[in-house]
Every structure is written in C-alpha cells, then in structure tokens.
Structure 1
Amino acid sequence: METVTLIPGDGIGPEVSRAVQKVIDAVGVDIEWKEVNAGAGVMDKYGTPLPDKVLDSVRKNKVALKGPITTPVGSGFRSVNVAIRKKLDLYINLRPVKTYKGAPTKFKDVNYVVFRENTEGLYAGIEHEVGEDAAESIKIITRKASKRIVKAAFEYAKRENRKLVTAVHKANIMKLSDGLFLETAKEVAKEYPEIEFNDRIVDNMCMQLVQYPDEYDVLVMPNLYGDVISDLGAGLIGGLGLTPGANIGDEIAVFEAVHGSAPDIAGKDKANPIALLLSGVLMLRHLEEFEAADRVENAIAEILAEGKVLTKDLGGEAATTEITEEIINRL
C-alpha cells in the first residue's frame, strides 16, 4: 500500500480531488490517503494559507496529489502553489502537452513536454517598492538551478526515447541572466550527444508552437516562460481542463492540474476532473503503477473520442460525477 498526501484545495478542488480518488480506487491501486488542506479556507483557523502540517505530511509521505488553490490577484497572501514548490525544493515543473482525439482543438499529433524551472527566476518573489510610483522585481538565475532542470529534461528525453530538447530563453535581451541559463543548457547538452539540442527565443517559441507544434519534443526553460508556454500549450490541445502537471524534487513529488480553482462553478457539479485525473496518471507512473496508469489514460481517451459524456468546457453537458462514473465504467 502506498501512502499519499491529499490536499483537496478550494473552489472546485474538493470535487475534482474526490473524482481522482474514486477512479484510482476503482482501477485497483491500494492507496492510503492522508488528507490535509491549504488555501483561503484555512486562513481563519491557522493564520496562514499553508500550515506546517501540510508540508510535514508531504515530507513524510514523499508523494502528494493537490487540488487547485486560489491565489489572490494584486493583494493578499502569495501563491500557496509557489510556496510549496520552494519550501520542498520541487525544482521540476513537468507539464505534458498532448492532443487526444475528440478534444475541442484543430491541432493533431501535438505531444511535447514542458520542463519549467520551479524555484527561482521572477517567481523568487524578491520585489519592493521604489518610492510611491515604482516597484522592482528581481530575477534570479543561478548555474546550479539551471543545470539541474536542464539535466532533468535530458534524462527524461533519454528515458522516454524523446529525440530533441529545446532550451527556451530571452538571452538576446537579458544577456546575463538568460545568457547564463542558455550557456548552462549548452554545456549540459554536450553530455547527451545522442539527443538533438537546439534553442529558441521565447517569443519566437510561442509563434513556432502555434505554427508547428508537432516539431517539438521536450522544452526546458526558466520559471516565468514555463508558466506562459504551458498555458499556450493548453490552448493547443483543447484547454486547461486537459492539461496535467507535476512538481518534482530529488525525493518528493506533488501532482496537480494546471488550471485554477474556478470558484464561480464550485459546488455545482460542473467541473471537469480530467486535468487532475491526468495528473493522477502521472502520479501512478511515478509510483510505478504503469498498468493502472495506462488503463486510466485509455479510459479518458475513449470518452474524449466518443464525445458523448463531456463537461461543458469540452463541448458537452455532463456533470463532474457523470464523467467520473463513465471513466470508472470503462475501467
């Protein structure tokens, strides 16, 4: 039996988290779920959106599944998601971008993976006001963090038989910070002569992905660019409701969907659970439950291809509970 920390989150988080639990239980993987929570809902009780017991549980169990958590815009507490990644040194943000037949998109055969550095860059949170009319944010790029994320991308490419790694940057303008990232990427690439390597300036990368997404395989980049590029990828494959994610360190992994908490539909049985389910598939593979992972992903692919039981964001009218039960029936 595996022990996994479950962080339901807020908004639609509890609904989609329960859906994932039901599917994983139905596929026959024996998991003991240790539930703890974070976000706005625990502020009054603990005085913080990220209580110590959440981090303690993840450190103990080494694996967590996390529902979406609301981040206030412009004021309030900083992102719980970012805090978890930094405090647990989850330096890899892995976001697969893959088309499924029947998904609401005109693109076909998109299948690339974003490796986003998860601990520094502009998301380091180093910012301050300069008088009343200006503010500064400081971007941190280190050789150590750049090297380990690029090596992670190459190791993934080697393990998964991927042929190309592309470093994404803005070194033409930010010659020192992004220049260091690109220089480090080129150095690491020399250690993997069997894998092709190239680089793209981030704005050109966005254009390339919209025009020729099937030409790319593994993308590796600093923090902010990864956030933007992965959402662009979601648009290519049919939306955030189909986009999974994982945050991985040397010993700990936290699996989460890319989308937000959608408070406007919370509690209405309308949320699409597929993104978090696909994150659960990544978790099952991390736990070496490969057969179960394939069965869940195949069930999702069948339902998308048939197009009969889909939530509203995918062009249907099914409820969260209905699509969850349909996936379980396919198992």
Structure 2
Amino acid sequence: MAIYKIGVLEGDGIGGEIVPATTSILEAAAKQLGGITFEWGDFPIGWKAIEQHNDPIPNVTKEGLKDCHGWIMGPHDSAAYPESHKTVRNPSGELRHLFDLYANIRPAKTTPGTKSGVDHTDLVIFRENTEGFYADRNMYSGTGEWQITPEVVVSTGVFTKKAIERIAHAAFKMAMKRRKKVTVVHKANVIKLGSGLFLNTCHEVAEQYPEVVVDDYHIDAMAAHLVRRADAFDVIVTENMYGDILSDLAGELVGSLGLAPSINTNDHLVMAQAAHGSAPDIAGKNISNPIGIIQSATMMLNWLGERHNDRSLFDGARMIELALAEALQEGVCTLDLGGSETTSSFTEAIVNKIEKVVIP
C-alpha cells in the first residue's frame, strides 16, 4: 500500500468549500482502487493564518509542506489582507518562489456538457513561473520595482537562460506525449533582449526535439489566434505574465475560468491550484463550482504517478475524470454552469459515480 502525504491549504473565500470537496473525491478514488492511501496534512494560509500567526503564509506551513509529496492549494484573497501584509508576496507567489516551482502547467480543453466559445480545443500552456515581468518574485531578495519619485515607477522584467531552458524542456517533453507541436509566445519585436532571449533559447532547445513542429507568435497576435482558432494549438510555452493572461483567456474560451485547472511543479514537488480566485461574494453559500480544483488534483495525481511510477495514481486520476465527464454530460453541475447542484450535492454525485466507474 503506497502512502502519499498531501498538504491541504484551504485558503480564503470558497476555498473552505471546494478544497474539502476535492479531498473527499480523492479519498473516494483511493478507497475504490485500494492500492493507495492519502495522508492529509492541514496547513493554514490566508486569513486563517493571519488570525493564528499574523502571517498569511507562516513558517509552520512552509516547513510542513517540505515533508509532503505535493499539496492542494485553495484560492487566496490577498487583495483584502491588511496593508501590512500587502508589501510581501501573496501566498501562491511565495510558495512558487520558495520551492522554485518553475513550471505552471495550465490545460484548456473543450468539455462535453459545458458551453464553450471554441470547439475541439485541447491545448496546454507552460508558463515560466519564477521570473519574467512578475516583479514580486523575479529577484533573490526584495522586489524588482522602484519608485523613483511619487510620479515615477520602474518595474523590471528578468529573463535568464537557465529558467527559459527548463520551462522549454518541460514544454517539449509534454509535446512529445501529445501532438508534437510547440508554439512559443513572446514580444521579441519590441522587447528585443529579454523576450528575444526567451524566443531564441526556446528555438535552441527545440533542436533537441526534431520530431516536434515549432512556431512562434507575438503575445498580442496570439490572443487573437486563440479566439479565432484555439483548436490549432497543442503546447504553448511563454513567460510568466503572458502565460497568466493567455491561460485565463483560454480557460474562458473553453467554458469557464471556474473549470480551469493547473499545477505548479519543479522536478520533485507539485502544487495543485485552480486558476480562479477566492470569489468572496459567494463564499459560504454552498454554490461554488469545485471542478477547477478537482481537475487540478487529478493533474497532481498524474504527475505523482509519473514521478513515482505508480499505476494506481494514474487510475485514480482517470476514475475522477470519467466521473466528472459523465456528470457534466448528464447535466449534473452547479449553478454557474446552468445546473441546480450545490457544492456539496455535486461532490456527493461525483463520489457516487466514482464508486461505479470501471477503468477501461
């Protein structure tokens, strides 16, 4: 019996509803399989951590996560934190920085049973997660912004060959398992040195994957291409800010940002984190849609299955995916997707389907 320690960080807003929904669904899959056990570790972040430790991401959480195989991170509402906590990295940014989770992997796939703005789309965005134009995490110490005068601010973008190479390799390795096509997104026509280094380095890495077809687009053109022909793309690799923007756009195009999953990884750790926010306006009403974080957790299981060569983890992920697909095709969904289920009743429906799923 393989045991995997998974950290649980509920976060703020709807996190207290959708994260427990996700762990109960993973428990149901583990019970059905019988070959794996999840050992859960609860760690505070966000408002709960501020109340308990005067810190939205306290050391007890950072240290506890070091002993986990991976963790599920709920959304945070850092924009509402006290001013004293707004001068430091938000919880997700801090964990990405602290654990060097350099790859933010965000798929966007048309899902039967949901309304979509594009058809037959199945793409994955690889977002470099540690530098680029995100000034709160692109420095070893401090932040890459300076206010020269009350009317003048300088914000830096950082690009290093090492960081670009590793996200490019991650993207090309994924492409080799899919349709063998990579699109590099950049702005090298204007940001000639920084974005130029990103583009050129990706093309250098591409030489090691001769089976993969490579093209590239400027970020502004890429946004238009996604809207017009999202189904033409397979794996997209880009820097931090562009990846954040494009993945939100792609998520909405295929149905809803509420469905959009992601994982943050390095070579030995994985953090499951839905792309959406904490939705404080509906928190506590039992109407939030947990699919984004559930699908993020299935991505985590697949990642752990590959790292630990454990077929049971792949089967668990597949079991959950099949249960979700069946529910959505039957119209079993939450209010935001046109259904009538609450968060808890939707979760119960998925658990019931997992108990009946047969892995092909």
TM class by smaller structure: over 0.9
> Is 1:312 equivalent to 2:329 in the alignment?
no
The CA distance in 1 between the partners of 2:90 and 2:243, in whole Å, is 16
Q: CA deviation at 1:9?
A: 0.8
- The answer to whether the 8 A contact 1:104-1:315 is kept is no
* Cross-structure match for 2:248: 231
Q: CA deviation at 1:44?
A: 3.4
Alignment of structure 1 residues 145-224 onto 2, 5 Å: 145-158=163-176, 160-224=177-241
- Among the aligned pairs, what percent are the same residue? 40
Which of 75, 85, 88 lines up with 2:99 in the alignment? 88
Q: Give the TM-score normalised by the residue count of structure 2.
A: 0.89
* Cross-structure match for 1:33: 40
User: Any gaps of 5 or more consecutive residues in structure 2?
Assistant: 31-35, 137-143, 306-312, 355-360
Which amino acid is 2:131 matched to?
E
Q: CA deviation at 1:73?
A: 7.0
Which of 135, 157, 165 lines up with 1:139 in the alignment? 157
* Cross-structure match for 2:344: 321
The CA distance in 1 between the partners of 2:269 and 2:315, in whole Å, is 22
The CA distance in 2 between the partners of 1:277 and 1:104, in whole Å, is 19
- The answer to whether the 8 A contact 2:108-2:254 is kept is yes
Deviations 1:216-254 (A, max 9, x none): 000000000000000001111111111101000121111
* Cross-structure match for 1:11: 13
* Cross-structure match for 2:358: none
Q: Give the TM-score normalised by the residue count of structure 1.
A: 0.96
**RMSD of the TM alignment (CA)?**
1.4
- What is the SS of the residue equivalent to 1:123? coil
Deviations 1:168-207 (A, max 9, x none): 0000100010001001011000110011111110111011
User: Any gaps of 5 or more consecutive residues in structure 1?
Assistant: none
- The answer to whether the 8 A contact 1:59-1:252 is kept is no
Q: CA deviation at 1:14?
A: 1.6
- What is the SS of the residue equivalent to 1:193? coil
* Cross-structure match for 2:300: 283
Deviations 1:32-85 (A, max 9, x none): 100001113311332221111212122211311111111217965232111110
Q: Compared with structure 1, are the counterparts of its residues 73 and 166 closer, same or farther at alpha carbon in structure 2 (3 Å cutoff)? A: farther
- What is the SS of the residue equivalent to 2:78? coil
Which of 260, 266, 274 lines up with 1:249 in the alignment? 266
The CA distance in 2 between the partners of 1:173 and 1:106, in whole Å, is 31
- What is the SS of the residue equivalent to 2:27? helix
Deviations 1:252-278 (A, max 9, x none): 111110000111111110110111100
The CA distance in 1 between the partners of 2:179 and 2:69, in whole Å, is 27
